[in-house]
């Protein structure tokens, strides 16, 4: 089924499975090691479900010491390791390897410290995103980045993917809300970066770790910034006769210097699917729907609502409603938050893409996407973080129809190439993983990619942490150091290249 090639499994490692199992059981006793095929099935995929692979062994450590000893063992014995949080990655980042240990961090599920004076919370990486807000909301605080998967996804996974959500337009992505980390390197060394204070000493390794997709280290503790809830929040529901009008309205709102707490857009297919599913009161006779949320002191919110209404009318808005109560505001959002499962009800399968474009390009990109839909013979529903220019086209297909997965992947690749062509990037918040790995060369030159791999080598010179993800070609670290090739003989011939 997998169209994306993974590194060939190391037969020597697979032959040593029993010996590796015994060693890991000695480090993580009891139920912390899973090796039965039936039980390992739960880990064979993440939310990119078109791709599946049973791991060699699953390990669920509970202490930093156990993580450190597991990694050191794997390092000394050349065993690959795939870190995993809740397994909600949409880019295949947590896809296991047949010859690799799957390291689940979900037993690290404690909130360690809440420090309102420093506006910080210290949590273990398996705590869910929403779990952080739950731990601080009694004092009127919350954790701002809010991926739609926040009820399930772990903060460790959020760090690895630099996750975003509706409120990131105003409050920043994960990278802007993380203050400190503890992580374990592949050789077992425990490292601490940052803390409750602003900025850390030396190079900004914290920023490097955020978005590193499990390739540089395993996160074992996270310090995040917590914010006080805004005094008030109101939302506008704005419908447009064309997507282009909606796209222009988004650019004009930001251009006017207004930064909404959230600004999300849906196209007709997504509007109808969401309305049929949750009855949020969305208009059905519009081509695009914008939800704009403004938050802050009441007077400021009222003023900004008036200005956004004006901008919407200038852009031919055909439907305009402002929430008059907290309940109504939540109803506006209910449809958007349920949009993915709603689309899941109208199509047997869908591929959720993730690319980012300059906001001004929204009208052009939406128009081109319609042409691509005709070219590939598949429908597309658009649900996206319009304020950030972060698109989430959902390509509808049926995996049981021969050729449709291939067509959906080709359509997805065309959309991402289009994002790069108009000056955007391959991913906004879901990461590269395996999904966009082979498209990296659309955005980066060979030398760019080598440069990035040199950073990887500084942390993991044996390529044992999550190999096969992010980089389309696995250069050995020695090759990147420009080793001399004598008479065509490749140095380190045992290192996988694919
Ligand atoms: C319905 C749905 C909606 C979603 N909506 C959004 C959204 O709005 N915004 C968004 O950004 N994402 C969204 N996602 C994607 C996903 O939830 C995020 O990428 C999330 O951060 C993944 O967290 P996780 O705990 O599930 O990580 P996993 O899927 O388990 O792993 C993801 C990556 O993180 C690495 N990793 C996990 N834990 C650690 C650790 N402790 N140390 C080092 N590396 C680690 C893994 O190796 C892997 O590369 C959505 C997913 C679904 C299914």
Return the CATH number at 80: 3.30.43.10
Q: Is 347 inside a domain boundary?
A: no
Tell me whether residue 102 is exposed, middle or buried, using C-beta atoms within 10 angstroms of its C-beta: 0 to 12, 13 to 18, 19 or more.
buried
For residues 332 and 28, give the distance between their C-alpha atoms in angstroms, rounded to a whole number: 47
Question: Does residue 495 carry a pLDDT above 70?
Answer: no
Same domain, 251 and 191: no
Residue 84 CA, ligand 1 centroid: distance in Å: 9
pLDDT band of 3, cuts 50, 70, 90: low
Last residue of a domain, which of 314, 340, 366? 340
Supply 309's token pair.
């209404």
Last residue of a domain, which of 310, 340, 370? 340
Residue 148 CA, ligand 1 centroid: distance in Å: 11
Mutate to test the pocket of ligand 1, among 161, 166, 434 (most ligand atoms within 8 A of CB): 161
Q: What mean pLDDT comes out for the span 380-409? A: 92
Give the angle subtended at the CA of 6 by the CAs of 460 and 350, to the nearest 5°. Answer: 115
Other CB atoms within 10 Å distance of the CB of residue 197: 12
Q: What mean pLDDT comes out for the span 122-151? A: 96
CATH number of the domain that residue 161 is part of: 3.30.465.10
Same domain, 130 and 59: no
Q: Is 97 inside a domain boundary?
A: yes
pLDDT tens digits, 320-373: 999 999 999 999 999 998 898 999 999 999 998 999 999 888 888 988 999 999
Same domain, 93 and 121: no
Q: Three-state DSSP class for 359?
A: helix
Same domain, 125 and 89: no
SS (H, E, C) 197-243: CCCCCCCCHHHHHCCCCCCCCEEEEEEEECEECCCEEEEEEEEECCH
Ligand 1 atom at minimum distance from 154 CA: 25
pLDDT band of 293, cuts 50, 70, 90: very high
Question: Does residue 468 carry a pLDDT above 70?
Answer: yes
Q: How far is CA 276 from CA 269, 273, 342, 360, in A?
A: 11, 5, 8, 31
Same domain, 239 and 158: no
**Dihedral pair phi/psi, residue 356, rounded to 5°:** -125, 140
Listed in sequence order, the residues at least 6 apart from 375 whose beta carbon sits closer than 8 Å to its beta carbon are 411, 414
How far separated are the first and last CA of the chain, in Å rounded?
A: 18
Q: Is 371 inside a domain boundary?
A: no
What is the pTM assigned to this prediction?
Answer: 0.92
Ligand 1 atom at minimum distance from 47 CA: 53
Question: Does residue 265 carry a pLDDT above 80?
Answer: yes
Residue 129 CA, ligand 1 centroid: distance in Å: 10
Weakest mean pLDDT among 6-20, 357-371, 472-486: 472-486
Same domain, 223 and 121: yes
Residue 361 CA, ligand 1 centroid: distance in Å: 28
Same domain, 62 and 86: yes
Mutate to test the pocket of ligand 1, among 48, 94, 174, 432 (most ligand atoms within 8 A of CB): 94
For residues 56 and 125, give the distance between their C-alpha atoms in angstroms, rounded to a whole number: 23
Last residue of a domain, which of 58, 89, 104? 104
CB 108, CB 59: distance < 8 Å: no
Residue 154 CA, ligand 1 centroid: distance in Å: 7
Q: Is 21 inside a domain boundary?
A: yes
Question: Whole domain around residue 164: which residue ranges?
Answer: 111-228
CB 111, CB 121: distance < 8 Å: yes
Q: How far is CA 133 from CA 110, 130, 335, in A?
A: 13, 5, 22
How high does pLDDT run on average in the chain?
93
pLDDT band of 483, cuts 50, 70, 90: very low
Q: What mean pLDDT comes out for the span 50-76? A: 97
Question: Does residue 428 carry a pLDDT above 90?
Answer: no
Q: Which ranges constitute the DSSP H helices of 16-119?
A: 17-27, 37-40, 64-76
Q: What mean pLDDT comes out for the span 275-297? A: 96
Residue 89 CA, ligand 1 centroid: distance in Å: 4
> For residue 473, what pLDDT is reported?
82
> For residue 343, what pLDDT is reported?
93
Ligand 1 site residues, Cβ closer than 6 angstroms: 46-47, 82-90, 93-94, 105, 125, 147-149, 153-154, 156-158, 160-161, 163-165, 213-214, 218-219, 340, 429-430, 466
Same domain, 92 and 62: yes
Q: What mean pLDDT comes out for the span 205-224? A: 97
For residues 224 and 173, give the distance between their C-alpha atoms in angstroms, rounded to a whole number: 12
Listed in sequence order, the residues at least 6 apart from 169 whose beta carbon sits closer than 8 Å to its beta carbon are 259, 260, 261, 262, 263, 385, 387, 388
In the chain, the percentage of residues whose pLDDT exceeds 70 is: 96
Most confident segment among 46-55, 95-104, 422-431: 95-104
Same domain, 96 and 128: no
Q: What mean pLDDT comes out for the span 79-98? A: 97
> For residue 50, what pLDDT is reported?
85
Tally of domains in the chain: 4
In the chain, the percentage of residues whose pLDDT exceeds 90 is: 84
Q: Is 24 inside a domain boundary?
A: yes
Ligand 1 atom at minimum distance from 431 CA: 19
Residue 460 CA, ligand 1 centroid: distance in Å: 22
Residue 346 CA, ligand 1 centroid: distance in Å: 25
pLDDT band of 493, cuts 50, 70, 90: low
Which residue's CA is minimally distant from atom 34 of ligand 1? 157
Same domain, 91 and 169: no
Ligand 1 atom at minimum distance from 341 CA: 1
pLDDT band of 210, cuts 50, 70, 90: very high
Q: Is 285 inside a domain boundary?
A: yes
Question: Does residue 477 carry a pLDDT above 90?
Answer: no
Question: Does residue 1 carry a pLDDT above 50?
Answer: no
Tell me whether residue 79 is exposed, middle or buried, using C-beta atoms within 10 angstroms of its C-beta: 0 to 12, 13 to 18, 19 or more.
buried
Same domain, 211 and 124: yes
Same domain, 139 and 159: yes
Q: Is 219 inside a domain boundary?
A: yes
Q: Angle, nearest 10°, between helix axes 64-76 and 17-27? A: 150
Q: Angle, nearest 10°, between helix axes 362-376 and 243-255? A: 150
**Dihedral pair phi/psi, residue 172, rounded to 5°:** 90, 165
Mutate to test the pocket of ligand 1, among 147, 176, 345 (most ligand atoms within 8 A of CB): 147
According to DSSP, the residues that pair with 338 across neighbouring strands are none
Supply 135's token pair.
């731990």
Q: Is 466 inside a domain boundary?
A: yes
């Amino acid at each position: 089924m997998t169209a994306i090639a993974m590194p060939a499994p190391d037969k020597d490692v697979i032959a040593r499975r029993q010996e590796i199992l015994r060693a890991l059981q000695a480090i993580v006793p009891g139920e912390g090691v899973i090796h039965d095929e039936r039980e390992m099935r739960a880990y064979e995929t993440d939310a990119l479900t078109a791709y599946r692979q049973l791991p060699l062994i699953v390990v669920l450590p509970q202490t930093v010491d156990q993580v450190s000893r597991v990694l050191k063992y794997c390092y000394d014995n050349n065993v690959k390791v795939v870190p995993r949080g809740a397994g909600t990655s949409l880019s295949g980042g947590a896809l296991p390897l047949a010859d690799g240990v799957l390291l689940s961090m979900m037993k690290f599920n404690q909130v360690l410290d809440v420090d309102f004076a420093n506006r910080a919370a210290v949590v273990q990486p398996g705590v869910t995103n929403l779990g952080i807000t739950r731990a601080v909301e009694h004092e009127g605080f919350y954790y701002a980045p809010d991926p739609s998967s926040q009820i399930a996804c772990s903060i460790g996974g959020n760090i690895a993917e630099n996750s975003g959500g509706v409120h990131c337009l105003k409050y920043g992505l994960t990278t802007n809300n993380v203050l400190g980390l503890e992580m374990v390197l592949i050789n077992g060394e425990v490292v601490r970066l940052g803390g409750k204070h602003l900025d850390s000493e030396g190079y900004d390794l914290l920023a490097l770790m955020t978005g590193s997709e499990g390739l540089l280290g395993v996160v074992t503790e996270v310090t995040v910034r917590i914010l006080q809830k805004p005094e008030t929040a109101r939302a506008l529901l704005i419908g447009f006769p064309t997507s282009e009008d909606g796209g222009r309205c988004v650019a004009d709102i930001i251009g006017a210097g207004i930064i909404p707490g959230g600004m999300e857009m849906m196209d007709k297919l997504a509007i109808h699917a969401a309305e049929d599913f949750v009855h949020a009161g969305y208009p059905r006779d519009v081509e695009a729907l914008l939800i704009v949320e403004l938050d802050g002191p009441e007077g400021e919110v009222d003023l900004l609502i008036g200005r956004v209404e004006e901008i919407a009318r200038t852009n031919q808005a055909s439907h305009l409603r402002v929430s008059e109560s907290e309940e109504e505001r939540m109803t506006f959002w209910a449809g958007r938050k349920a949009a993915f499962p709603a689309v899941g009800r109208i199509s047997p399968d869908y591929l959720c893409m993730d690319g980012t474009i300059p906001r001004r390009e929204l009208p052009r990109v939406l128009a081109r996407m319609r042409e691509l839909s005709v070219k590939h013979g598949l429908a597309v529903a658009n649900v996206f973080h319009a304020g950030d220019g972060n698109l989430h086209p959902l390509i509808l297909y049926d995996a049981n129809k021969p050729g449709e997965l291939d067509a959906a992947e080709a359509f997805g690749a065309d959309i991402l190439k289009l994002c790069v062509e108009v000056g955007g990037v391959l991913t906004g918040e879901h990461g590269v993983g395996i999904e966009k790995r082979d498209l990296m060369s659309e955005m980066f030159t060979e030398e760019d990619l080598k440069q990035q791999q040199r950073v990887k080598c500084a942390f993991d010179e044996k390529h044992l942490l999550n190999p096969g993800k992010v980089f389309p070609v696995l250069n050995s670290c020695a090759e990147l150091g420009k080793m001399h090739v004598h008479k065509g003989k490749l140095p380190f011939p045992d290192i996988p290249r694919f």
